[in-house]
Structure 1
Amino acid sequence: MKKLYTLILCLGSFMFSYAQQVVKGNISDASGMPIAGVNVVEKGTTNGAISDFDGNFSISANGNSILVFSYVGYDSKEIAVNNRSTFNVTLDDGVSLDEVMLVGSRSPKRTAIDTAVPVDVINVADIASNTGKVEVNEILQYAAPSFNASKQSGSDGADHIVPASLRGLGPDQTLVLINGKRRHQSSLVNIFGTRGRGNSGTDLNAIPANAIKRIEVLRDGASAQYGSDAIAGVINIVLKDNTDGFTGGITYGAYSTAIGDGWEEATGETLSNVEGENRLDGKSKSWDGETVKIDANYGVSLNDAGGYMNFTTEFLSRQNTLRPGFSWRQGYGSAGVDGFNFMINSALPINDNTEIYAFGGRNYRDTDAYAFSRDSFANGDNRSVPSLYLTDLHLELPLTLPMFRFRLV
């Protein structure tokens, strides 16, 4: 009987050793380079291992099991153990990633694979068509993190040239490039309670959105490349260089602002601060902010060496949005804009080392914006102090000049 127990125990140990065995091997790519960090999992279980820096792995698995090898960027592979203790695995590339060039970098060899900081690459055409945004500031506001260019009604010239900023810093601390070349700043100095007070930013809306191929936004590490002008970051605008003929588009939009019947009776208030067709009575005032944009782009080839000339024209008409209070003198909302933009981008290669390029544009913009006009004492809005103004003082100052006499009263 004791011999029988010993035989059963030995058979059990042999069966267990047959069921579980250590499998080792090496994992490499198609070029023979080892791959570190590959997940090796026994299929159908939670038993797994990870390859080391040299691509070696070791896992205790069933002799009849299947091992699954997976890693980001490679096709997963399943291999049956078949009681083997050692075998090598080759993973095939599963995802082909296009190389991204950082246009405007001061290092001609600088590419995305050598860059330790992220670069946002924004496709302007896709965002504009999917969101209905018509200006460059609006597109970046929608798509780029930490970019801020919201309109500020009644704040100095901010309705005409919207101050744009990155990372909450001043508008003049963001470096704007076009095709990697510095873009000039506007002549407007923001001085009246706007974002970036005392700064002169770059007017991005002067560039037609249809003229832009893509926009690259670099935030972290920008000043290390471009200096103190790029403390907030760099916005590089790459213009279109296509030569495949004509493209164009028409955009229309408006806001529905109907109040609804019975509002005046329910509240006892009358929004009679706007006259005529725009009267806010819930019936005749139903739409505002009507926007019409017409743009066209045309590109031609200059030679067989890749020379091109690309033209873009854009017409934009946007009506005011009306968000007033109960005083007819107070009107709050976005400004109305009538503008025309034109842009040209061209290049002519001479040889492998020489290229003649030119880009530029012309734009016209007429803005109709609300200011902070207000009643003197309406609704308790006592913003003026009459005691500061001397109403009973008369000043008489004679000035004598040869053959002339002036009297100021």
Structure 2
Amino acid sequence: MGNKLKHLTFTGVSALAVLAVSPALAQPADLEEIIVIGSRFEPRIVTQSPTPIDSISADELTRGGAPDLQSMLKVAVPSFSTPRPAAAGSLDFLTPPTMRGLSTGQLLVLINGKRRHTAPDLNGSSQIGRGDVAYDFNSIPAAAISRVEVLRDGAAAQYGSDAIAGVLNVQLARGTDGFASARFGLTEKGDGEHTEIAVAKGIELGDDGFLRLTVQYQDHNASDRAAPDTRQQYFGRNAAGALVMPSGNYGSGTGLTPSSGTLDPREATVDRDIWKFGDPKYENLSLFLNAEKPLTDGITAYAFGGYSRLKGNSFNFFRRAGQDETVRAIYPDGFLPLQEIEITNGSGAFGLKGDDLAGFGWDLSSAYGGMSAS
């Protein structure tokens, strides 16, 4: 704080010295140029912006080897983060992103400058983004992206309260060139195999327009880093020989016999490799279309949209034999619940834009987005 005060004092003294030497500089009539650092009418490029704007190409995103778009952004974008929840149902695939440590609902995501719709599921888990809704990044093929523009500062004055943390704008690839890629990878433990195939191709619309389609298929197997469950699995008996009733955190670990009773003999033989803790298994098919066609010298028509369907498995926490959540007549040794998740996502946008309407640029468009998770 002391350094800051010294700097401000020096600046003020310097300004007074300049005015003392050149009194004419203080006269408003002698001002030759006024620079406005905030504008709502014209786009700003990175070198002209008073706030940090990152432009990250598709090559930079895929260079890190991450299997999905959200993980790519986590590696490439400063201050962007996303958790890796487990046993969260559909939220295993709709992980809530954050920017600058702020809530998920304060990050705005755009595609080609248009708002992206959010997921229908409210995050009710005790994790990052609780009480907010996330975006379905899995529905956007990385092969369909030209670059991602990231404003790492608040933009609520222009976009609203959902841009307090910043803005992430996904620019789709343009042109008629073709693209094809295939990837395969697995973890050092030999699990989590990831297979991905992507194809993109554009066609000409007349002499100056294009229509580009991208299709991507992903097959991701589960990974597991769970340790053996050493907790007490069955009812014990107290010193009087009665069953010890369970509670939320009942019992001791294996090898620790309660001083006032005994453990069930099955504690010595039960399979304790019963947890699943890691990335879930899923298959994801997604496609995206981007088109643009100039109608006149000053008017251009455009459209873009996509569809995706993800099917995956989410393992919940293991229910021990002594827990109230277990029907012991059916599962005498406990059970591991498995949720089968299906997420479908569809979106579309179309519009007209021009460069000169009474001296202003203009853009008239309509967008639709829908999503279901079950």
In the superposition, the TM-score normalised over structure 2's length comes to 0.62
CA–CA separation in structure 1 for the residues paired with 2:139 and 2:313: 17
Aligned to 2:241: none
Distance change >3 Å, CA 253–CA 109, structure 1 → 2: closer
Q: Unmatched 5+ residue regions in structure 1?
A: 1-52, 54-104, 258-286, 378-382, 387-409
Amino acid at match of 2:58: V
- 1:371-392 alpha-carbon deviations (Å, 9 max, x no partner): 1123245xxxxx7699xxxxxx
CA–CA separation in structure 2 for the residues paired with 1:154 and 1:182: 30
Aligned to 2:174: 241
Aligned to 1:114: 48
Is the 1:156–1:190 Cα contact (8 Å) retained in structure 2? no
Distance change >3 Å, CA 112–CA 367, structure 1 → 2: same
Deviation (angstroms), 1:196: 0.5
Q: Unmatched 5+ residue regions in structure 2?
A: 1-17, 19-38, 229-271, 327-374
Aligned to 1:145: 78
Is the 2:218–2:284 Cα contact (8 Å) retained in structure 1? yes
Amino acid at match of 1:332: F
Is the 1:308–1:348 Cα contact (8 Å) retained in structure 2? yes
Runs of 4+ aligned residues of structure 1 deviating over 4 Å after TM superposition are 383-386
Whether 2:221 is the aligned partner of 1:319: answer yes
Is the 1:329–1:375 Cα contact (8 Å) retained in structure 2? no
Deviation (angstroms), 1:175: 0.7
Residue correspondence of structure 1 range 174-213 to structure 2 within 5 A: 174-213=107-146
Amino acid at match of 2:90: G
Aligned to 1:251: 183
Whether 2:207 is the aligned partner of 1:301: answer no
Report the identity percentage.
34
Distance change >3 Å, CA 239–CA 225, structure 1 → 2: same
Distance change >3 Å, CA 292–CA 109, structure 1 → 2: closer
Distance change >3 Å, CA 374–CA 302, structure 1 → 2: same
Is the 2:87–2:314 Cα contact (8 Å) retained in structure 1? yes
Task: Tell which structure's C-alpha radius of gyration is larger.
Answer: 1
CA–CA separation in structure 1 for the residues paired with 2:203 and 2:289: 12
- Matching residue within 270, 287, 292 for 1:342: 287
Distance change >3 Å, CA 374–CA 324, structure 1 → 2: farther
- 1:186-234 alpha-carbon deviations (Å, 9 max, x no partner): 1111102231111111112210000000001102242232221201110
- 1:130-149 alpha-carbon deviations (Å, 9 max, x no partner): 32223110110101111112
How many residues of Structure 1 are paired with residues of Structure 2 in the alignment? 246
- Matching residue within 139, 146, 157 for 1:224: 157
Q: Which secondary structure state, in structure 2, belongs to the residue aligned with residue 236 of structure 1?
A: strand
- 1:307-329 alpha-carbon deviations (Å, 9 max, x no partner): 11110000000000011222233
Deviation (angstroms), 1:368: 1.1
Deviation (angstroms), 1:125: 2.4
In the superposition, the TM-score normalised over structure 1's length comes to 0.57
Amino acid at match of 1:315: Y
CA–CA separation in structure 1 for the residues paired with 2:69 and 2:112: 16
Distance change >3 Å, CA 204–CA 121, structure 1 → 2: same
CA–CA separation in structure 1 for the residues paired with 2:301 and 2:186: 44
Whether 2:25 is the aligned partner of 1:123: answer no
Aligned to 1:158: 91
CA–CA separation in structure 1 for the residues paired with 2:43 and 2:147: 20
Residue correspondence of structure 1 range 251-290 to structure 2 within 5 A: 251-257=183-189, 287-290=190-193
Is the 1:174–1:231 Cα contact (8 Å) retained in structure 2? yes
CA–CA separation in structure 2 for the residues paired with 1:153 and 1:333: 7
Q: Which secondary structure state, in structure 2, belongs to the residue aligned with residue 234 of structure 1?
A: strand
CA–CA separation in structure 2 for the residues paired with 1:109 and 1:164: 26
